Structure 1
Amino acid sequence: MKQAALKFPDDVTTNAKAPEFKRELDTSSKCSHTNIVKFYGTIQVLANPLKLGLLYELCDSRSLANVITDVKREPAYTVTGFSYAQDLALNIVKSLDYLHGNNVIHRNLKPENILITARNEVKRADIGLANHIRQAKSTVCEIYAHMAPEIMSGKPYTRSVDLFSFGIIMWSVFKPVLQNGKFDM
């Protein structure tokens, strides 16, 4: 039996949250890529109120945000360097290429949503805010430093918003590596 991670989004039985849940369910169920956390299905908990959840692959991992924090705090402690950062970048790009090839814009690309497994595999998680390109208009989602200006201002956007976020993330990955002089090319 496989172990799974269970995600219970905010009350999805309300009219306001139901479309978000449906979008995440639709997008997750269509994504199948090495660098994206596998989606297994849904679960319904008969409670008051009713709870709907999503089952995902359980990754023995930590987020890229944790890796970046560790490198900044204790450079000698982590096994990182330039080639490691290059591998991270390549695997993140592979997941974005897959999503964009399937007409999906992630919109919420951030270090907290990028998992690094114990085997150093990169897994994209939390595609709950992803939009299909034909739906990508001007919906505003949470504000983070890595988000493209057009998302934060509620303007129409394209795939380029994911590339903007990718650039900000890569800056935060490479900056401590370069400052610490870990060039193991």
Structure 2
Amino acid sequence: MVAITLFFAVLIGLPLGILLYATAKGNILENKFVNGILNALINTIRPIPFIIFLVALIPVTRFLVGTSIGIWAAIFPMTLAASLSIARIVENNIVSVDKGVIEAAEAMGSSKFDILFKVLIPEAAGALILGLTFTTVSLIEFSAVAGLVGAGGIGYLAFTYGYQRFDVLIMFITVVILIILVQITQFIGNKFASIYTNRL
């Protein structure tokens, strides 16, 4: 569930984040209208707690997926929430690239698109990997919450066999599994970011 969601979220969120940056004031595709809509969409949805977002989106999920329960029904809202988070992460990391790098690329005659795709994104890649790691950790949390609406996984196990049956051991085991998954994810993300940064 997490892997599939992350795949689709990156496919949507990465270009969305690039578009968010490119349409900002003074950038290559400056467009106040598009940038304003994207910012409003992200700023509206991101603060909503995922459990509320998941439930509120049930009618839309049922219409698009054909059901409101199960793994695929959970993947849709998870992908939507993660995509917007990734878009903001991409924008923030590209914006944070040293302006001197941009000026150097301009001095060498690079086009604005070359600066965006061959300079800014590679420069921000290490931070982007860490950002994706953070998103993956959030998706592990989302997948646990999605278990409450029949999506299966660790959340379903904890809720059905732990909480509803008052089995403290099951609850403890699921919490430990979640912690281990998060630690492994964070370690892998940090490792890849470090490897990429050291290659620059």
TM-score when scaled to structure 2? 0.30
Higher strand share: 1
